[in-house]
Amino acid sequence: MHRRTGRGRLAVLVGTILLAVAAGLAFSPVAGAAQPVGQLRLGHLSPGTGAVVATISGPEGAGSTEQVVARDAAYGDVTGYLRLVPGRYTVSMRPVGSDPSAPAPLSAGLQIAPGTAQSLFFFDTGSGQVRGDLVTDDLTAPAAGSGRVRVVQGAETATPLQALAVGGPRLATDLGYGAVTEYATVAARTWDVRLSSGAATKAAQLPVGGGSVTTVVVTGGPGGALAVHPLTDTPGLPVGAAHPAATHDGTPLPRGGVPAGAGGTAGDDGPGVLPLVLCLLAAPVLVYGTSVLRASRRRS
């Protein structure tokens, strides 16, 4: 009798602990949903640098270790946004296959503030070195029926880059390598885009959804050819039937980029399914324990 009573009490204790842990995870102020974060993405825009492994460490003082963000990022690749706890971080890039414990030839320190979005682009300096340029991304939604577009000049062209939205604004004027334009507000539709640098030209289409924000990265190819890579910063609404795509002789803009790893990140999607799992485990344990205790009381 005493043994069954002891098992019942133990089951009730275990079930209660499981429920307490589930409640703590669901309502703790440090759960993901309450964690203020900043966003950061990395762009490899150094044509003189081969494929790299990108890592991030931080925030300082948190005892974190260096973690991989992208394992094989080539020229022109840009990661998705990392969601980071505010603090000071160090981003490093090492050639693929190099010793991960050796000092990184490409490194940059930066501060992440809550509620911010930033892009860290690595460019050649022209002297055999690489620099990291940190730019602020404005992800606030534009007015209804419009989108915002900016251009990042990642092609080492002999002459400055020109970019025109046909029938709309000039997206870039005399843009040198390593420069980033301000955002241009355009109507939500599919735009013909013409890019040129000296004799090199490129024609492409750029769908701009209502409420979207887009960064167009330009890179250089063999023989001075231009390539364009649109990054959807915020998607907005898709281009609707009211704005049919204009026909042209160019090619659709490719959706380039590499996925971002999870190193150093903090999500904001809440505590996940763990509290629910713990509740499901606790329920039968509590039922068993209380039934044993009730049966023991009836016998006594």
pLDDT digits (tens, 9 = 90+) for 78-119: 999 999 999 999 999 999 998 888 888 888 999 999 999 999
Please name the amino acid found at residue 73.
Answer: A
Under 8 Å between Cβ of 28 and 271: yes
Q: Which residue has the higher pLDDT, 100 or 262?
A: 100
Structure tokens at 173: 């004027």
pLDDT of residue 40: 97
Looking at the structure, do residues 146 and 274 belong to the same domain, yes or no? no
Mean pLDDT of 68-82: 95
pLDDT for residue 30 is more than 50: no
Looking at the structure, do residues 50 and 179 belong to the same domain, yes or no? yes
Looking at the structure, do residues 86 and 214 belong to the same domain, yes or no? yes
Looking at the structure, do residues 219 and 88 belong to the same domain, yes or no? yes
Residue 66: exposure state from Cβ atoms within 10 A (0-12, 13-18, ≥19)? middle
Mean pLDDT of 287-298: 59
Looking at the structure, do residues 180 and 52 belong to the same domain, yes or no? yes
For 194-246, write each residue's pLDDT tens digit.
Answer: 999 999 999 999 999 999 999 999 999 888 899 999 999 999 888 753 433 33
Task: Tell me how far apart the alpha carbons of residues 253 and 235 are, in angstroms, rounded to a whole number.
Answer: 15
Counting DSSP H helices and E strands in the chain, the numbers are 2, 17
pLDDT for residue 13 is more than 70: no
Alpha carbon distances (Å) from 94 to 65, 98, 127, 258: 16, 7, 19, 16
pLDDT of residue 241: 33
What mean pLDDT, rounded, does the chain reach?
79
Tokens 């992208």 belong to which residue? 70
Q: Return the closest-CA partner of residue 260 out of 1, 28, 60, 67.
A: 67
Quick check: is 101 in a domain? yes
Cα three-residue angle 92-94-95, rounded to 5 degrees: 155
Under 8 Å between Cβ of 192 and 128: no
pLDDT of residue 263: 33
Looking at the structure, do residues 103 and 224 belong to the same domain, yes or no? yes
For residue 213, how many C-alpha atoms fall within 13 Å in the half-sphere facing its CB? 13
Looking at the structure, do residues 15 and 117 belong to the same domain, yes or no? no
Kindly state the percentage of the chain with pLDDT values over 70: 67
pLDDT of residue 122: 95
Quick check: is 264 in a domain? no
Q: Which residue has the higher pLDDT, 102 or 258?
A: 102
For 180-203, write each residue's pLDDT tens digit.
Answer: 999 999 999 999 999 999 999 999
Looking at the structure, do residues 43 and 11 belong to the same domain, yes or no? no
Under 8 Å between Cβ of 68 and 54: yes
Task: Tell me how far apart the alpha carbons of residues 294 and 277 are, in angstroms, rounded to a whole number.
Answer: 27
Looking at the structure, do residues 106 and 21 belong to the same domain, yes or no? no
Looking at the structure, do residues 91 and 169 belong to the same domain, yes or no? yes
Quick check: is 141 in a domain? yes
Looking at the structure, do residues 16 and 105 belong to the same domain, yes or no? no
Please name the amino acid found at residue 193.
Answer: V
Looking at the structure, do residues 15 and 77 belong to the same domain, yes or no? no
Which range among 11-20, 259-268, 276-285, 287-296 shows the weakest confidence by mean pLDDT?
259-268
